A and B are shown apart, each in its own frame.
Chain A
Amino acid sequence: MAENKHATDISVAAGLTAAGLLSDEGLQALGQVLQGASDPASAIGHAVFMALSKVRDKLESEGMSIDDKLWVAKGGVLDRVLFEVASVLVAVLGFQDAANPQFVQQLKQSVIQLMEQEDGEGPEAPDADMEGQEHMGGMPTQGMPMQAPPMASGGLMGGM
């Protein structure tokens, strides 16, 4: 039952995150983030990280917290979410680089770094490659969503 429990936890967290990123608002946010980004992996990674954080907070508030290891474990939540994000980036947004395994690895590393920063230092550390205060990790400020892509399944949690 312990193994099934982990699989269920991964399904819940990854499903909620993917649902948010695949929603109209999520796709719009991803498109905006990609536009003009000098470091697409970092930019997309930031968006994915925000979505994951939101899901994690929501699950904890509902009393359904998930083991920390499952978020970044092999085959865990992050892997499942990146699987969905990569397919959407290529098929919907036309970002062919997302089909490259190296890009996906960079994307994963970007998200993991952000998670470690959040766990270790609290506020996100500034990117060393910043071109200026206006840009954060290469993401354009104009049109940049101020918050993470909203969860399309906002009614899911309430419906439980």
Chain B
Amino acid sequence: MAGLMDALDAFGRGLAYNSDEAKEDRKDQRELDNYEKKLRLASKVEEEVMSRKRELAKQYPEIAKTINTPFGVTLGVYTDNSVKELYKDNEYRDAIVAGKQGQANLADARAEAEPVKADAAAERAAAARAAAEAAKARVGASNQPKPITPVQTANFRAKAEKSAIAKMPGRNPDRKMKAWQELPDEQRKQLINQELEFWGVGGEASPAAPTANSNPFLEE
């Protein structure tokens, strides 16, 4: 049993070792180790070069002026001053002095190698803008007031009439209905219109009636 467990354990470790994550981790670690190795080497080499320059400067003083000059900055130490013209490109100089030459190189390399991606991105952006415009138009269209149907008119008037009847004096619904029927037509229409206006259906703000003059529910 113990042997079986050990075998299973080893099998599991093997699976873990060969998993994609483990492989990725080992690759990242190798890259990091390599990078750190290069960092140490770069530091060592730079010190070596500076040391050599200091040694040369004892015999050739002109060299001393370049020791503390960041690479890329114009020297400007020679009698004819023509060396000042040596590296005149400010962008390139600033990129190096600021430690950004890697970014510049990377940007150049990317621009050189993958110009197609920029075009594809521009196309996608244009398509997205066009889609957004079309969607806006659709939404705008759907927000416009819809034409009022005769059925809607009839329904609203029926409800307004019912509400007006309910407001007639008295408690008995039959008495209210009787009182309503005894009213002249004009008065009944007026009471119904008042209900509609009260609901805001007959007002200017009503989406069903954009303008007071064109209120379809109000009867002349």
Contact = CB atoms under 8 A, between A and B. Distances in A.
Given A8-B42, A99-B78, A100-B82, A83 B87 contact: yes
Contact of B38 (A12, A73, A76, A153): A12
Interface string A1-25: 1111111111110011011001100
A99 B95 CA distance: 22
A18 B48 CA distance: 10
Given A3-B100, A75-B96, A104-B86, A22 B105 contact: no
Contact of A19 (B37, B52, B72, B75): B52
Interface stretch (B55-63, B120-128, B162-170, B173-181): B55-63
B35 to A, nearest CB: 6
Chain B interface, DSSP helix/strand/loop, else mixed = helix
Interface stretch (A31-39, A86-94, A141-149): A86-94
A67 B108 CA distance: 13
A123 interface: no
A130 interface: no
A128 interface: no
Interface in A104-160: 104, 152-153, 156-157, 159-160
A6 to B, nearest CB: 3
Interface string B42-81: 1011101100110010001011001000011001001010
Nearest to B30: A63
A22 B45 contact: no
A92 B62 CA distance: 8
Chain A interface, DSSP helix/strand/loop, else mixed = helix
A153 B62 contact: no
Interface in B90-142: 92, 95-96, 99-106, 108-109, 112
Contacts, number: 136
A7 B102 contact: yes
Contact of B49 (A18, A69, A86): A18
Interface of A: 1-12, 15-16, 18-19, 22-23, 63-64, 67, 69-70, 73-76, 79-80, 83-84, 86-88, 90-92, 96, 99-101, 104, 152-153, 156-157, 159-160
19 contacts: A6-B101, A8-B42, A11-B42, A15-B46, A22-B49, A64-B41, A73-B105, A74-B104, A74-B105, A75-B92, A75-B101, A79-B92, A80-B71, A91-B56, A99-B82, A101-B88, A152-B48, A153-B48, A160-B37
Given A22-B49, A79-B92, A90-B83, 4 more contacts: A15-B48, A75-B104, A86-B83, A99-B83
Closest 10 CB pairs of A and B: A6-B102, A15-B45, A91-B62, A7-B102, A3-B102, A11-B42, A75-B101, A73-B105, A99-B83, A3-B103
